[in-house]
Structure 1
Protein backbone atom coordinates (compact mmCIF):
# COMPACT_ATOMS: atom_id res chain seq x y z
CA UNK A 1 0.00 0.00 0.00
CA UNK A 2 3.03 2.29 0.13
CA UNK A 3 2.88 2.98 3.84
CA UNK A 4 5.92 3.43 6.04
CA UNK A 5 5.39 1.27 9.11
CA UNK A 6 6.72 2.66 12.40
CA UNK A 7 6.26 1.63 16.01
CA UNK A 8 4.27 4.02 18.18
CA UNK A 9 4.45 3.89 21.97
CA UNK A 10 0.89 4.00 23.22
CA UNK A 11 0.07 5.30 26.69
CA UNK A 12 -1.50 3.05 29.30
CA UNK A 13 -5.07 4.29 29.43
CA UNK A 14 -6.65 1.27 31.11
CA UNK A 15 -7.65 3.32 34.16
CA UNK A 16 -9.91 5.50 32.00
CA UNK A 17 -11.87 2.88 30.06
CA UNK A 18 -14.62 2.21 32.61
CA UNK A 19 -15.72 5.85 32.49
CA UNK A 20 -16.92 5.30 28.91
CA UNK A 21 -19.86 3.31 30.29
CA UNK A 22 -21.09 6.17 32.48
CA UNK A 23 -20.86 8.63 29.59
CA UNK A 24 -22.47 6.33 27.02
CA UNK A 25 -25.31 5.34 29.34
CA UNK A 26 -26.03 8.89 30.50
CA UNK A 27 -25.99 10.20 26.93
CA UNK A 28 -28.28 7.35 25.87
CA UNK A 29 -30.84 8.67 28.36
CA UNK A 30 -30.80 12.04 26.62
CA UNK A 31 -30.96 10.48 23.15
CA UNK A 32 -33.97 8.36 24.16
CA UNK A 33 -35.74 10.97 26.28
CA UNK A 34 -38.70 11.04 23.88
CA UNK A 35 -39.44 7.36 24.61
CA UNK A 36 -37.71 6.45 27.86
CA UNK A 37 -38.99 5.87 30.51
CA UNK A 38 -42.58 6.19 29.20
CA UNK A 39 -42.13 3.31 26.73
CA UNK A 40 -39.51 1.47 28.76
CA UNK A 41 -41.18 -1.92 28.32
CA UNK A 42 -40.97 -1.66 24.53
CA UNK A 43 -37.15 -1.80 24.65
CA UNK A 44 -35.31 -5.11 24.49
CA UNK A 45 -33.94 -6.52 27.72
CA UNK A 46 -30.34 -5.42 27.22
CA UNK A 47 -31.03 -1.85 26.15
CA UNK A 48 -33.77 -1.41 28.74
CA UNK A 49 -31.26 -2.36 31.43
CA UNK A 50 -28.62 -0.11 29.81
CA UNK A 51 -31.03 2.83 30.07
CA UNK A 52 -32.09 1.90 33.60
CA UNK A 53 -28.45 2.02 34.71
CA UNK A 54 -27.93 5.28 32.80
CA UNK A 55 -30.91 6.91 34.49
CA UNK A 56 -29.21 6.46 37.86
CA UNK A 57 -25.94 8.19 36.90
CA UNK A 58 -25.68 11.43 38.82
CA UNK A 59 -24.50 14.73 37.43
CA UNK A 60 -21.39 14.46 39.58
CA UNK A 61 -20.60 10.98 38.22
CA UNK A 62 -21.13 12.19 34.65
CA UNK A 63 -18.91 15.25 35.22
CA UNK A 64 -16.18 13.07 36.73
CA UNK A 65 -16.38 10.62 33.81
CA UNK A 66 -15.98 13.52 31.39
CA UNK A 67 -12.97 14.79 33.34
CA UNK A 68 -11.41 11.34 32.97
CA UNK A 69 -12.31 11.31 29.25
CA UNK A 70 -10.49 14.62 28.76
CA UNK A 71 -7.37 13.26 30.50
CA UNK A 72 -7.49 10.12 28.36
CA UNK A 73 -7.98 12.15 25.19
CA UNK A 74 -4.89 14.22 25.92
CA UNK A 75 -2.76 11.09 26.25
CA UNK A 76 -4.14 9.57 23.04
CA UNK A 77 -3.89 12.78 21.04
CA UNK A 78 -0.15 12.91 21.65
CA UNK A 79 0.28 9.33 20.38
CA UNK A 80 -1.93 9.75 17.31
CA UNK A 81 -0.25 13.00 16.26
CA UNK A 82 3.03 11.14 15.64
CA UNK A 83 1.67 9.38 12.54
CA UNK A 84 -0.92 9.79 9.80
CA UNK A 85 -2.81 6.63 10.77
CA UNK A 86 -2.56 4.02 13.52
CA UNK A 87 -3.35 0.36 12.89
CA UNK A 88 -4.61 -1.86 15.68
CA UNK A 89 -6.75 -4.91 16.26
CA UNK A 90 -10.43 -4.11 16.67
CA UNK A 91 -10.73 -6.41 19.67
CA UNK A 92 -8.09 -7.98 21.89
CA UNK A 93 -8.90 -11.61 21.06
CA UNK A 94 -10.75 -13.59 18.43
CA UNK A 95 -14.52 -13.22 18.71
CA UNK A 96 -16.37 -15.61 20.94
CA UNK A 97 -19.55 -17.48 20.28
CA UNK A 98 -22.57 -15.37 21.16
CA UNK A 99 -25.06 -17.08 23.44
CA UNK A 100 -28.73 -16.23 23.97
CA UNK A 101 -27.85 -15.23 27.54
CA UNK A 102 -25.39 -12.67 26.18
CA UNK A 103 -28.00 -11.27 23.80
CA UNK A 104 -30.94 -11.28 26.16
CA UNK A 105 -29.34 -11.43 29.60
CA UNK A 106 -28.31 -8.63 31.92
CA UNK A 107 -26.20 -5.82 30.45
CA UNK A 108 -23.52 -6.50 33.04
CA UNK A 109 -22.55 -9.66 31.16
CA UNK A 110 -20.83 -7.69 28.41
CA UNK A 111 -19.04 -5.24 30.69
CA UNK A 112 -15.61 -6.51 29.59
CA UNK A 113 -13.24 -3.57 29.35
CA UNK A 114 -10.29 -5.68 28.29
CA UNK A 115 -12.19 -7.03 25.28
CA UNK A 116 -13.08 -3.47 24.18
CA UNK A 117 -9.80 -1.75 25.01
CA UNK A 118 -9.01 -1.01 21.36
CA UNK A 119 -12.38 0.57 20.55
CA UNK A 120 -13.46 2.47 23.67
CA UNK A 121 -10.56 4.96 23.64
CA UNK A 122 -11.36 6.22 20.16
CA UNK A 123 -15.09 6.31 20.71
CA UNK A 124 -14.32 8.17 23.93
CA UNK A 125 -12.56 11.00 22.14
CA UNK A 126 -14.34 11.10 18.80
CA UNK A 127 -11.31 9.96 16.83
CA UNK A 128 -12.35 8.54 13.47
CA UNK A 129 -11.73 4.84 12.98
CA UNK A 130 -12.46 2.44 10.18
CA UNK A 131 -12.77 -1.28 10.88
CA UNK A 132 -12.32 -3.77 8.09
CA UNK A 133 -12.21 -7.56 7.83
CA UNK A 134 -8.74 -9.05 8.16
CA UNK A 135 -9.35 -12.79 8.08
CA UNK A 136 -10.96 -15.65 9.93
CA UNK A 137 -10.11 -17.82 12.92
CA UNK A 138 -9.55 -21.53 12.37
CA UNK A 139 -13.20 -21.93 13.45
CA UNK A 140 -14.39 -19.52 10.75
CA UNK A 141 -15.16 -16.55 13.01
CA UNK A 142 -14.33 -13.15 11.50
CA UNK A 143 -11.29 -11.10 12.52
CA UNK A 144 -10.87 -7.39 11.93
CA UNK A 145 -8.42 -4.53 12.21
CA UNK A 146 -9.04 -0.84 12.61
CA UNK A 147 -7.36 2.14 11.05
CA UNK A 148 -7.31 5.09 13.46
CA UNK A 149 -6.90 8.62 12.17
CA UNK A 150 -6.54 12.14 13.42
CA UNK A 151 -9.60 14.33 13.79
CA UNK A 152 -11.17 15.13 10.40
CA UNK A 153 -9.16 12.41 8.62
CA UNK A 154 -12.18 10.39 7.47
CA UNK A 155 -11.36 10.80 3.74
CA UNK A 156 -7.86 9.40 4.31
CA UNK A 157 -9.21 6.48 6.34
CA UNK A 158 -11.70 5.64 3.59
CA UNK A 159 -8.94 5.73 0.97
CA UNK A 160 -6.73 3.46 3.06
CA UNK A 161 -9.58 1.09 3.88
CA UNK A 162 -10.62 0.89 0.24
CA UNK A 163 -7.04 0.15 -0.88
CA UNK A 164 -6.61 -2.45 1.86
CA UNK A 165 -9.86 -4.21 1.02
CA UNK A 166 -9.05 -4.29 -2.71
CA UNK A 167 -5.58 -5.67 -1.99
CA UNK A 168 -6.65 -8.35 0.50
CA UNK A 169 -10.03 -9.40 -0.89
CA UNK A 170 -11.36 -10.03 2.63
CA UNK A 171 -14.62 -8.22 1.93
CA UNK A 172 -15.63 -10.88 -0.58
CA UNK A 173 -14.73 -13.77 1.74
CA UNK A 174 -17.53 -15.18 3.87
CA UNK A 175 -17.47 -17.68 6.73
CA UNK A 176 -19.17 -21.02 6.43
CA UNK A 177 -22.52 -20.88 8.20
Structure 2
Protein backbone atom coordinates (compact mmCIF):
# COMPACT_ATOMS: atom_id res chain seq x y z
CA UNK A 1 0.00 0.00 0.00
CA UNK A 2 1.37 3.44 -0.89
CA UNK A 3 2.01 5.80 2.01
CA UNK A 4 2.54 9.40 0.90
CA UNK A 5 4.54 11.70 3.17
CA UNK A 6 6.07 15.17 3.15
CA UNK A 7 9.76 15.74 3.85
CA UNK A 8 10.61 15.80 7.56
CA UNK A 9 10.70 18.90 9.71
CA UNK A 10 13.57 20.52 11.53
CA UNK A 11 13.57 20.36 15.32
CA UNK A 12 12.79 24.10 15.43
CA UNK A 13 9.62 23.45 13.39
CA UNK A 14 8.51 20.86 15.94
CA UNK A 15 9.28 23.34 18.73
CA UNK A 16 7.02 25.80 16.87
CA UNK A 17 4.20 23.23 16.80
CA UNK A 18 4.54 22.67 20.54
CA UNK A 19 4.44 26.42 21.21
CA UNK A 20 1.39 26.92 18.97
CA UNK A 21 -0.67 24.14 20.55
CA UNK A 22 0.72 24.69 24.08
CA UNK A 23 1.61 21.02 24.44
CA UNK A 24 4.85 19.07 24.71
CA UNK A 25 5.01 16.26 22.17
CA UNK A 26 6.42 12.84 23.09
CA UNK A 27 9.84 11.94 21.75
CA UNK A 28 8.49 9.29 19.35
CA UNK A 29 6.09 11.74 17.68
CA UNK A 30 8.79 14.44 17.50
CA UNK A 31 11.12 11.96 15.79
CA UNK A 32 8.36 10.94 13.37
CA UNK A 33 7.73 14.58 12.40
CA UNK A 34 11.45 15.10 11.80
CA UNK A 35 11.49 12.05 9.53
CA UNK A 36 8.07 12.52 7.88
CA UNK A 37 5.94 15.63 8.09
CA UNK A 38 2.73 13.61 8.41
CA UNK A 39 1.50 10.94 5.99
CA UNK A 40 -1.64 9.57 4.41
CA UNK A 41 -2.61 6.22 2.97
CA UNK A 42 -3.64 5.65 -0.64
CA UNK A 43 -5.10 2.80 -2.70
CA UNK A 44 -7.06 2.12 -0.51
CA UNK A 45 -7.07 5.38 1.40
CA UNK A 46 -7.42 3.77 4.83
CA UNK A 47 -6.28 0.83 6.93
CA UNK A 48 -8.42 -1.21 9.31
CA UNK A 49 -7.13 -1.43 12.87
CA UNK A 50 -8.50 -4.16 15.14
CA UNK A 51 -10.27 -2.74 18.20
CA UNK A 52 -12.52 -5.19 20.00
CA UNK A 53 -14.00 -2.39 22.15
CA UNK A 54 -16.15 -1.08 19.26
CA UNK A 55 -19.24 -2.68 17.74
CA UNK A 56 -17.66 -3.82 14.46
CA UNK A 57 -14.30 -4.80 15.99
CA UNK A 58 -12.28 -2.47 13.73
CA UNK A 59 -11.61 1.22 13.26
CA UNK A 60 -10.14 3.02 10.27
CA UNK A 61 -6.92 5.00 9.99
CA UNK A 62 -6.36 7.54 7.20
CA UNK A 63 -3.53 9.92 8.11
CA UNK A 64 -1.04 11.37 10.55
CA UNK A 65 -1.10 15.15 10.80
CA UNK A 66 1.96 17.28 10.05
CA UNK A 67 2.90 20.95 9.87
CA UNK A 68 0.86 21.72 6.76
CA UNK A 69 -0.77 25.17 7.17
CA UNK A 70 -1.86 25.20 3.51
CA UNK A 71 -3.88 22.00 4.19
CA UNK A 72 -5.95 22.78 7.30
CA UNK A 73 -7.51 19.31 7.53
CA UNK A 74 -4.00 17.75 7.63
CA UNK A 75 -2.32 20.41 9.77
CA UNK A 76 -1.60 19.43 13.37
CA UNK A 77 -1.79 23.05 14.56
CA UNK A 78 -5.05 23.94 12.79
CA UNK A 79 -6.77 20.73 13.85
CA UNK A 80 -5.75 21.05 17.49
CA UNK A 81 -6.64 24.73 17.70
CA UNK A 82 -10.09 24.03 16.25
CA UNK A 83 -11.09 20.85 18.10
CA UNK A 84 -8.87 19.84 21.04
CA UNK A 85 -10.60 22.23 23.47
CA UNK A 86 -13.50 19.75 23.44
CA UNK A 87 -11.20 17.46 25.45
CA UNK A 88 -10.14 20.08 27.99
CA UNK A 89 -11.00 17.63 30.79
CA UNK A 90 -8.03 15.47 29.73
CA UNK A 91 -4.40 16.09 30.62
CA UNK A 92 -2.54 17.53 27.63
CA UNK A 93 -4.52 15.85 24.83
CA UNK A 94 -3.02 16.25 21.33
CA UNK A 95 -4.71 15.13 18.10
CA UNK A 96 -2.11 13.45 15.86
CA UNK A 97 -4.18 11.85 13.08
CA UNK A 98 -7.62 10.88 11.86
CA UNK A 99 -9.71 8.01 10.53
CA UNK A 100 -10.84 9.92 7.43
CA UNK A 101 -14.34 10.42 8.80
CA UNK A 102 -13.76 13.12 11.40
CA UNK A 103 -12.64 10.89 14.28
CA UNK A 104 -9.16 11.80 15.51
CA UNK A 105 -6.41 9.79 17.14
CA UNK A 106 -5.33 11.55 20.32
CA UNK A 107 -2.32 11.23 22.60
CA UNK A 108 -3.42 11.74 26.18
CA UNK A 109 -1.39 12.57 29.26
CA UNK A 110 1.76 14.47 29.98
CA UNK A 111 3.83 14.07 26.77
CA UNK A 112 1.40 11.34 25.65
CA UNK A 113 2.51 8.96 28.42
CA UNK A 114 -0.98 7.55 29.01
CA UNK A 115 -1.34 6.42 25.42
CA UNK A 116 -3.03 6.90 22.08
CA UNK A 117 -6.83 6.88 21.91
CA UNK A 118 -9.39 6.77 19.13
CA UNK A 119 -11.73 9.71 19.73
CA UNK A 120 -15.22 8.87 18.50
CA UNK A 121 -15.98 12.54 17.95
CA UNK A 122 -18.75 11.88 15.38
CA UNK A 123 -20.42 9.25 17.59
CA UNK A 124 -19.90 6.57 14.95
CA UNK A 125 -19.65 3.85 17.61
CA UNK A 126 -22.60 4.75 19.83
CA UNK A 127 -24.72 1.63 19.52
CA UNK A 128 -25.44 -0.52 22.56
CA UNK A 129 -23.86 -3.59 20.95
CA UNK A 130 -20.26 -3.50 22.15
CA UNK A 131 -18.81 -0.10 22.72
CA UNK A 132 -16.55 -0.51 25.69
CA UNK A 133 -14.95 2.94 25.78
CA UNK A 134 -12.08 3.80 28.11
CA UNK A 135 -12.72 7.52 28.64
CA UNK A 136 -16.36 8.64 28.72
CA UNK A 137 -17.36 11.74 26.83
CA UNK A 138 -18.16 15.00 28.55
CA UNK A 139 -20.45 17.64 27.05
CA UNK A 140 -21.27 15.36 24.09
CA UNK A 141 -17.66 15.37 22.79
CA UNK A 142 -17.59 11.62 22.04
CA UNK A 143 -16.04 8.68 23.90
CA UNK A 144 -12.39 7.70 23.67
CA UNK A 145 -11.10 4.15 23.11
CA UNK A 146 -7.58 3.08 24.09
CA UNK A 147 -5.55 1.95 21.07
CA UNK A 148 -1.90 1.80 22.19
CA UNK A 149 0.50 2.70 24.97
CA UNK A 150 2.37 5.35 22.99
CA UNK A 151 3.17 6.82 19.61
CA UNK A 152 5.80 4.32 18.46
CA UNK A 153 3.54 1.39 19.30
CA UNK A 154 0.68 3.10 17.45
CA UNK A 155 2.86 3.83 14.40
CA UNK A 156 3.94 0.18 14.28
CA UNK A 157 0.29 -0.91 14.51
CA UNK A 158 -0.56 1.28 11.51
CA UNK A 159 2.33 -0.09 9.45
CA UNK A 160 1.31 -3.67 10.34
CA UNK A 161 -2.33 -2.91 9.44
CA UNK A 162 -1.59 -1.71 5.90
CA UNK A 163 -0.73 -5.27 4.94
CA UNK A 164 2.43 -6.34 3.18
CA UNK A 165 5.40 -4.07 2.81
CA UNK A 166 4.34 -0.41 2.67
CA UNK A 167 5.60 1.69 -0.22
CA UNK A 168 6.67 5.09 1.16
CA UNK A 169 6.43 7.86 -1.43
CA UNK A 170 7.72 11.37 -0.74
CA UNK A 171 5.33 14.10 -1.89
CA UNK A 172 7.58 16.82 -3.28
How does the TM-score come out when normalised to structure 2?
A: 0.24
How does the TM-score come out when normalised to structure 1?
A: 0.23
More strand by share: 2
More helix by share: 1
The higher radius of gyration belongs to 1
